[in-house]
Structure 1
Amino acid sequence: MHVLVVHNRYSSAQPSGENMVVDQEVELLRAAGHRVGLFERRSDDIAARSLPGKVAVPLLVPWNPSVRKELAALLRTERPDVVHVHNVFPLLSPAVLAGCADAGVPVVATLHNYTQVCPPGTLHRDGRECTECVGSPASLPAIRHGCYRGSRPATVPLAVSLLVNRRRWWSGVERFFCISAAQRDILVRSGMPPERLAVKHNFVPDHGARREGDGEQLLFLGRLAEAKGVGQLMAAWDEIAAAGGVGVPLVIAGAGPLEREVSAWAAGRDDVRYAGLYDPRECRRAIARSVAVVAPSTALETFGLVVAEAMAAGVPAVAAGHGAFTELIEDGVTGLLHRPGDIGSLADRLRLITAGRSRNREMGRAARIRYEQGFSPEVGLERLVEGYRAVIAARSGGGESPSPTGDGNTGPRRDTRAGRDGGSR
């Protein structure tokens, strides 16, 4: 097939799981013999704009007319079978959907977050879950609270875009890929058309890095931000340390707004190490050396890339028992879930995951099997191509609408024993 991928790349100043997922999907498709083109903008380029150009950026968020013309012209020349849209903020805008309609090319879109119902896309505010804007087309609560970067003016363009482009998204995209069933459930409750929402989990490449032995550390790997539960992890670890520790150190790797606080907290301690920002190879090595990875997010994660990466290495995880984590992790089998926001529960689970090495090894083996069945490149390619073929066939009048859960006939079916299935750094 011939696929055109549309993506506004996030700033390189912060590692982006979404950028990584897009790059890996492109590589996967090309390796399988498909022709893949790219239509991109880069947020890094904003810094090089003139002052008037920078001032104009918020005006382009709801609609960028030049993008519509440029994309439509490219599509008429290249004639791809399908367009795959990822992120359009801030430089592309939903005008890409009009460009695809102008050229008559079917569209699929991966929903990496909750921007269809929440201007900043997080469903998180002031350290807690927030759904005030879900079902509210105008997103006035987000503006009132300044949910994007703590700024009301910065939130307005996102809220306006959501308001004026809602129907365009819902009618202009033949199939939305939700990256977890938990995400799909929230979007369906918000009013999005369920027949267009299919579940297609992210995949994780198998780099061959596997844990040998029992591991030597607990690892937090991700953005150092409130929503990732970093503050709660530090509090839980202090509780553990006061009771004598668990015999292995905690390693925190990443960057973000809490970096200075984490660095100061870890300074001078033998039981904690702040490692800074790892490159991809260092991330894989650190995971393979771990007793478990820790993902105590207070926000409702749409997937949980670090947990899937740990599974690929045969390493269990301790994660908050909400959002997509309840799909990736079968509690007590492939890892452990703690009560979201409960420091004592998190501390207990960290003690438990380190206490029984034999049980930990069993969890690691089960996690690897779960990875092979749900998050491997082979499964990822099959589900991606099936999605493309479905919308191409539907456009030509010979196909069926997307399966509501996205299961179709590809890969293992969703585990429904406890509303769980398989889950962004």
Structure 2
Amino acid sequence: MKDRLRILSIHNNYKIRGGEDESRESEERLLKEMGHEVDFYEESNNRIDDLNLAQLALKTVWSQESYQAVRQKLKQNRYDSIHVQNFFPLISPSVYYAAKAEDVPVIQTLRNYRLICPNGLFFRDGRVCEDCLGKSIPYPGIIHACYRENRGATAATVAMLTLHRTIGTWFDRVNLFITLSEFARQKFIEAGFPADKMIVKPNFVHPDPGVGSGSGGYALYVGRLSVEKGLDVLLSAWERLSDKVPLKIVGEGPLAELVMDAIERMPHIEWLGKRPIAEVHRLMGEAMFLIFPSKWYETFGRVAIEAFAKGTPVIASNIGAIAELIDPYQTGLCFNPSDPQDLAEKVEWCLNHPNSVLEMRARARAEYEAKYTATQNYQQLIEIYQRLS
């Protein structure tokens, strides 16, 4: 493989940025730091508001604009590969065909479940939903208006998924898929994706934020204030715990009012809103433990490895990829998903076993150093690109 790669990164920019945006950007920065060249083809989802439903549907299924733009980029510069981070909804799978026309290999990172679930989450009405898994036409998504709570928009998504599955886009136009966890890999294989093209490469934390003290005397939640993240489970668990341990909540989202109502009843809960990443890492380092109460199939769980980097154990739902990250009673604890009583009991166990929690801190940091640093991730990424040579 050449010492210096040239990669074209393709992705949509969302209105609401999340951990996966940070993970993608960290990966791109890392490649640049190591002397490789990363160019971009980007779309902003702010443009969605300027399109009517018919225009959005056409772009979702096939964007001729993206096809032509990407093909022109590939003609002008010789790339070693294009790396599609996210094509939905405005870029569309047409970019795979542009790459094929110019004989450039394609890697697709699967940062959500969009290719096998119309809303990308496997989550509906407050619970895990696999109604569309494995269906050649994922019609239940239309019935339940899973994308944007809009049947028309969902129908456009289903049309895109159905057409490109039928004509073999995922199988014939993508050389390799990257999933962030073995759990996600198995879901895509269950849906019919070729196992030999599915590679697991986790996210990472860079630069190293350094070890914290764990002396803050509080529990911490960091994430979107939403149902799928299990915020209601967290607050219900804290009602059961009474005032045994303070809870700090970092993040924004649609359940903000639920948090404010809880604070009125439980003054030992503090909502800090959105905070800069440096402050989030400081809070993580001082926390006794981080709570990760998700109800949905997380594709990874970046917040958990950020906590590990700070030496902070994680109490997490035993569901999806997040359960893979936790070694029970070594780097944290797992509780039954959507079970506030079990979460409360796991918190009490930690409060009653301070020496064990202290030992967990060292093991959590060691887990980060062994698996989630830039060095390990760079080596994994280069090995993936080598497979395309």
TM over 0.5, yes or no?
A: yes
> 1:260-311: CA deviations, max 9, x gaps?
2212221363310111112222211211121111111110111001001000
Alignment of 1:228-307 (within 5 A): 228-241=229-242, 245-246=243-244, 248-267=245-264, 269-307=266-304
Q: Secondary structure at the match of 2:308?
A: helix
Distance 2:207 2:320 in 1: 25
Supply the AA of the counterpart residue of 1:150. E
What residue number does 1:38 align with? 40
Shift of 1:124: 0.9
After TM superposition, the structure 1 = structure 2 runs for residues 8-407 of structure 1, keeping only pairs within 5 Å, are 8-11=12-15, 14-47=16-49, 49=50, 56-166=55-165, 167-241=168-242, 245-246=243-244, 248-267=245-264, 269-392=266-389
Q: How much has 1:149 moved relative to structure 2?
A: 2.3
Distance 2:268 2:43 in 1: 43
Contact 2:214 2:288 in 1 (8 A): no
Q: 1:189 to 1:159 in 2, by over 3 A?
A: same
Point out which structure has higher relative CO (alpha carbons under 8 A, 6+ apart).
Answer: 1
With over 3 angstroms needed to count, the CA separation of the structure-2 counterparts of 1:339 and 1:268, relative to structure 1, is closer
Secondary structure of the corresponding residue to residue 320 of structure 2 = coil
Q: CA deviation at 1:154?
A: 2.1
Shift in Å at residue 187 of structure 1? 1.0
Looking at structure 1, the residues matched to 192 and 55 of structure 2 have their Cα atoms a distance apart, in angstroms, of 32
For residue 267 of structure 1, give the secondary structure of its aligned residue in structure 2. helix
C-alpha deviation, 1:218, in angstroms? 0.7
Amino acid aligned to 2:77: E
For residues 172 and 40 of structure 2, what CA distance do their matches in structure 1 show? 23
Q: CA deviation at 1:144?
A: 0.3
CA distance in 1 between partners of 2:351 and 2:25 (Å): 35
2:153 and 2:232 map into 1 onto residues whose CA distance is 26
Q: Is the 8 A contact 1:214 1:361 kept in 2?
A: no
Match of 2:8 in 1: 4
The percent of aligned pairs where both chains have the same amino acid is 33
- What amino acid sits opposite 1:211 in the alignment? G
8 Å CA contact 2:214, 2:287 repeated in 1: no
Deviation track 1:317-354 (CA, whole Å, cap 9, x = no partner) reads 00001211221110110000001121211111111223
Asked if 2 retains the 8 angstrom alpha-carbon contact of 1:209 and 1:285, the reply is no
The answer (yes or no) to whether the contact 2:290–2:313 under 8 Å persists in 1 is yes
By how many angstroms is 1:357 displaced?
2.0
In structure 2, C-alpha distance between the alignment counterparts of 1:355 and 1:83, rounded to whole Å = 51
Task: Tell me by how many angstroms 1:59 deviates.
Answer: 2.4
TM-score, with length taken from structure 2: 0.95
TM-score by structure 1 length?
0.87
Distance change (3 Å), C-alpha of 1:343 and 1:128: same
Matched letter for residue 24 of structure 2: V
How many residue pairs were aligned? 383
Q: Which amino acid aligns with 2:124?
A: R
Supply the AA of the counterpart residue of 1:2. R
Q: Is the 8 A contact 1:175 1:196 kept in 2?
A: yes
Cα separation, 2, equivalents of 1:79 and 1:354: 58
Unpaired stretches in structure 2, ≥5 consecutive residues: none
For residues 342 and 364 of structure 1, what CA distance do their matches in structure 2 show?
25
Taking only aligned residues, the RMSD between alpha carbons, in angstroms, comes to 1.5
SS at match of 2:61: coil
Residue 209 of structure 1 and its aligned partner are, at CA, apart by: 3.7
List per-residue Cα deviations over 1:12-55 (Å, max 9, x = no partner): xx2311211111111000000111111111113445x4x66x86
Q: CA deviation at 1:216?
A: 2.4
Cα distance in 2, alignment partners of residues 278 and 55 from structure 1? 39
- Residues 208, 373 of structure 2: 8 Å contact kept: no
Distance in 2 between the 1:6 and 1:174 partners?
15
Task: State how far apart, in whole Å, the 2-side matches of 1:126 and 1:189 are.
Answer: 23
SS at match of 1:391: coil
- Partner amino acid for 2:14? Y
Contact 1:86–1:110 at 8 Å: present in 2 too?
yes
Q: Distance in 2 between matches of 1:265 and 1:44?
A: 33
- C-alpha contact (below 8 Å) 2:214/2:312 kept by paired residues: no
Match of 2:300, SS state, is coil
Query: 2-side partners of 1:65 and 1:308: how far apart?
Result: 39
CA deviations 1:175-230 (Å, max 9, x no partner) are: 10010000111111111111110111111114434211433211111011111000
Listed as ranges, the gaps of 5+ residues in structure 1 are 393-425
Q: Distance in 1 between matches of 2:210 and 2:224?
A: 22
